[in-house]
């Protein structure tokens, strides 16, 4: 029997107060996420239970109990307090998937800071854009990434503290501090910041089609949604060994790789190593993983290697498989059922929603290729893209829309209220994705309604790529679009018009690709470059990305009445 039991009954009867009561949210005036993910579990008698099993790329293994998580997160919180960081300050965590990443996240929250997780593969420009926008005061990082931080440090006057977690004996520069978690004095008791349910907690950056990346601001009451969806959708139980493959630089890695997992008191595993089919299966076999939350890109890469690697491992421990980040194609569902004996169940949500909104549930009839149904407590529909009125006829495509009011909904875009307000139409939050709903209430994803590129489950904004491309000495004009890819769903393709004096060549193509990789990230790097004489523009001079994207996807071009005359 699954945690949720009968989906239909739960959907009809559920109220968010039920989740609050189960979590004991607000007990003794406590609303801080940090408490509920560590101290509360210890108070319930599970302090010696393993909270995290971490394995590094060298094979090193570390294990931490919930009491360890509690004490070490207290150490981070006290350290921040002692160096003059204040509640409400933005504190960035910028490192690989090492134990300190997960534990510092809770420590920042415990002292009242707003934690800003950033993907460790970000280059200098991507890092600067997000730190500058947030006016970040302090950053936790490691020697591996310190160079990137140092090179932009002078352009970030608000950043007064750079905290290096593995400084060792090498000297540090001014304003740089050393913090060795294992060697710090243990802090058994810490006066956790008395957050309210609406106190800001996490600032996650998401990409858009225009302007700089947007910071989606969440609050401490988000845990109400993250706790119950981890229990129902991920079907997490006390004796599970759970593996969320997402990096906490992205929202899945925090909502379900930290908060949802530890709020439920589960033992979770972390693999700090790149994707490798045999290594992944070894990891599941070695730690007897029971619940596995991963991405369609990874699943398709596993599919590509076939059934033989599966048969070479004992994966019988797997009980429940869930997918996130992009649409899960029907073939992957059928394949996983064949090789693992159970299907991967798709789930749908966004950085802005903070927790899963639409999903397939354990025990529910699976329709391969479908997103599933709305989570209990969530009112989800599709609306007409022009009138924003609900579409009631099954099968008609509209925009996915959610009724505002769930606990983990973002509260604003950082310093960008106008864009935030623009996400709400006719009383609905508009997700920006097109879908239809069938007669049984299942959602079927159609595509993004904007130019944002979904590569391997990560949203990449074309504007940021185009802006960086223009900084290359050879580029006069640029446009970035998503191109279909069998593994990653989409990859970045750049259309480039060169400056006079430059000729297209494979060397120039490689130079431009590496330029973007270093400035932004490997995800933003174009996988293909097409050199063109000029880019299609409207009469007002706006590049018509839509035409370029239609060309790549074989779609109808549509109205081109505003296209400038050549």
Q: Is residue 1 part of a domain?
A: no
Q: Of 406, 434, 462, which residue is a domain's last?
A: 434
The whole-number pLDDT of residue 540 equals 52
Tens digits of per-residue pLDDT, 229-264? 999 999 999 999 999 999 999 999 999 999 999 999
Whether 201 and 109 have beta carbons less than 8 Å apart is answered as yes
Looking at the domain assignment, is residue 32 inside a domain? yes
Quick check: 562 pLDDT over 50? Answer: no
Assess whether 429 and 505 both reside in one domain: no
DSSP, residue by residue, 328-392: --HHHHHHHHHHHSSPEEEEE--TTT-S--EE--TTSPP-TT--BEEPTT--EEEE-TTT-PBP-
112 three-state secondary structure: coil
How far the first Cα of the chain sits from its last, in Å, is 65
**CA nearest neighbour of 131 among 205, 77, 80, 81:** 205
pLDDT for position 260? 98
Residue 486 lies in a domain: yes
Q: Is 558 part of any domain?
A: no
Q: What angle do CA 262, 266, 267 make, to 5 degrees?
A: 105
- Please report whether residue 560 resides in a domain: no
Query: 3-class SS at 191?
Result: coil
Residues 461 and 428 in one domain: no
Residues 240 and 276 in one domain: yes
Q: Is the pLDDT of residue 559 over 90?
A: no
Around Cβ 385, how many Cβ atoms within 10 Å? 14
Give the whole-angstrom CA distance, residue 201 versus residue 403: 22
Count CA atoms closer than 13 A to 287's CA, side-chain side.
Answer: 27
- DSSP string of 211-278? SS-EEEEEETTHHHHHHHHHHHTS---TT-EEEE---TTSHHHHIIIIIHHHHTT-EEEEEES---HH
More confident residue, 484 or 326: 484
C-alpha dist (Å) from residue 275 to 145, 279, 291, 294, 301 = 20, 8, 18, 12, 9
| Nearest CA among 485, 480, 431, 487 for reference residue 460 | 480
Whether residues 465 and 404 share a domain: the answer is no
Contact predicate 372/358, CB 8 Å: yes
Q: How many domains does the chain have?
A: 2
Q: Domain of 66?
A: 7-434
> Are the CB atoms for 190 and 78 separated by under 8 Å?
yes
Query: Is 60 exceeded by the pLDDT of residue 353?
Result: yes
Tokens of 517: 């990789």
Which residue's entry shows tokens 């401490």? 220
Question: Do 109 and 201 reside in the same domain of the chain?
Answer: yes
Distance from C-alpha of 436 to C-alpha of 380, rounded to nearest angstrom: 11
| pLDDT tops 70 at residue 67 | yes
The pLDDT value recorded for residue 210 is: 62
Judgement on whether residues 221 and 172 belong to the same structural domain of the protein: yes
Residues 340 and 265 in one domain: yes
User: For residue 561, what pLDDT is reported?
Assistant: 42
Q: Do 189 and 133 reside in the same domain of the chain?
A: yes
**Residue 2 belongs to some domain of the structure:** no
Same domain assignment for residues 62 and 165: yes
Pairwise CA distance, residues 233 & 297, whole Å: 20
CA dist 367 and 177 (Å) reads 53
Residues 485 and 413 in one domain: no
Residues 414 and 466 in one domain: no
What pTM did the predictor assign? 0.87
Pair type for strands 443-448 and 453-455: unpaired
CATH code where residue 527 lies: 3.30.300.30
Give residue 96's pLDDT band: very low, low, confident or very high (50, 70, 90). very high
- pLDDT tens-digit series, residues 42-59: 999 999 999 999 999 999
CATH of residue 358: 3.40.50.12780
Last residue of a domain, one of 371, 403, 434: 434
Q: Is residue 522 part of a domain?
A: yes
Determine the number of helices (DSSP H) and then strands (DSSP E) in the chain: 19, 27
Is 293 inside any structural domain?
yes
Sign of CA dihedral 286, 292, 298, 304: positive
pLDDT reading at 304 higher than 50: yes
What are residue 545's phi and psi, to 5 degrees? -55, -35
Looking at 403, 434, 465, the residue that finishes a domain is: 434
Question: Based on C-alpha coordinates, what's the Rg of the chain?
Answer: 23
Shared domain for 173 and 321, answered yes or no, is yes
């Amino acid at each position: 029997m699954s945690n949720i039991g009968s989906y239909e009954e739960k959907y009809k009867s559920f109220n968010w107060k039920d989740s609050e009561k189960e979590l004991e949210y607000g007990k003794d005036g406590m609303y801080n996420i940090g408490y509920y993910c560590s101290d509360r579990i210890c108070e319930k008698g599970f302090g010696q239970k393993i909270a995290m099993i971490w394995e590094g790329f060298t094979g090193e293994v570390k294990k931490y109990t919930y009491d360890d998580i509690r004490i070490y997160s207290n150490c981070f919180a006290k350290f921040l307090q002692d160096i003059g960081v204040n509640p409400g300050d933005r504190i960035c965590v910028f490192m690989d998937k090492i134990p300190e990443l997960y534990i510092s996240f809770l420590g920042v929250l415990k002292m009242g800071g707003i934690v800003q997780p950033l993907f460790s593969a970000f280059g200098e420009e991507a890092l600067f854009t997000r730190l500058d926008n947030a006016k970040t005061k302090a950053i936790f990082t490691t020697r591996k990434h310190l160079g990137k931080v140092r090179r932009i440090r002078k352009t970030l006057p608000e950043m007064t503290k750079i905290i290096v977690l593995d400084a060792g004996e090498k000297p540090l520069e001014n304003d740089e501090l050393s913090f060795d978690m294992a060697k710090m004095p243990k802090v058994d008791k810490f006066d956790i910041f008395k957050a309210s349910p609406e106190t800001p907690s996490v600032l996650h950056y998401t990409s858009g089609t225009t302007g700089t990346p947007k910071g989606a601001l969440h609050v401490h009451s988000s845990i109400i949604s993250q706790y119950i969806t981890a229990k129902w959708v991920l079907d997490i139980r006390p004796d599970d060994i759970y593996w969320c493959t997402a990096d906490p630089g992205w929202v899945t890695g925090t909502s379900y790789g930290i908060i949802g997992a530890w709020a439920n008191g589960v033992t979770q595993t972390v693999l700090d190593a790149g994707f490798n089919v045999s290594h992944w299966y070894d990891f599941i076999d070695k730690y007897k993983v029971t619940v596995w939350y991963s991405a369609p890109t990874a699943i398709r890469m596993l599919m590509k290697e076939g059934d033989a690697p599966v048969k070479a491992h004992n994966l019988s421990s797997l009980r429940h498989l869930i997918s996130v980040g992009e649409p899960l194609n029907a073939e992957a569902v059928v394949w996983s059922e064949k090789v693992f004996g159970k299907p991967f169940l798709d789930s749908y949500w966004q950085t802005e929603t903070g927790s899963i909104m639409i999903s397939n549930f354990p025990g529910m009839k699976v329709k391969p290729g479908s997103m599933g149904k709305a989570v209990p407590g969530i009112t989800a529909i599709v609306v007409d893209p022009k009138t924003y009125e609900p579409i009631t006829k099954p099968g008609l495509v509209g925009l996915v829309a959610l009724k505002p009011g769930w606990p983990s909904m973002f509260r604003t875009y950082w310093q960008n209220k106008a864009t935030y307000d623009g996400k709400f139409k006719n009383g609905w939050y508009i997700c920006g994705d097109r879908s239809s709903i069938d007669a049984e209430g299942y959602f079927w994803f159609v595509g993004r309604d904007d130019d944002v590129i979904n590569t391997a489950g990560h949203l990449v904004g074309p504007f940021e790529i185009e802006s960086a491309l223009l900084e290359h000495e050879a580029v006069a004009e640029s446009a970035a679009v998503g191109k279909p890819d069998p593994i990653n769903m989409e990859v970045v393709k750049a259309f480039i018009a060169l400056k006079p004096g430059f000729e297209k060549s494979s060397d120039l193509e490689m130079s431009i690709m590496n330029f973007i990789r270093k400035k932004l990230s490997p995800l933003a790097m174009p996988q293909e470059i097409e050199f063109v004489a000029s880019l299609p523009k409207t009469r007002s001079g706006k590049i018509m990305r839509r035409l370029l994207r239609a060309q790549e996807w074989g779609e109808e071009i549509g109205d081109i009445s505003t296209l400038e005359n050549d």
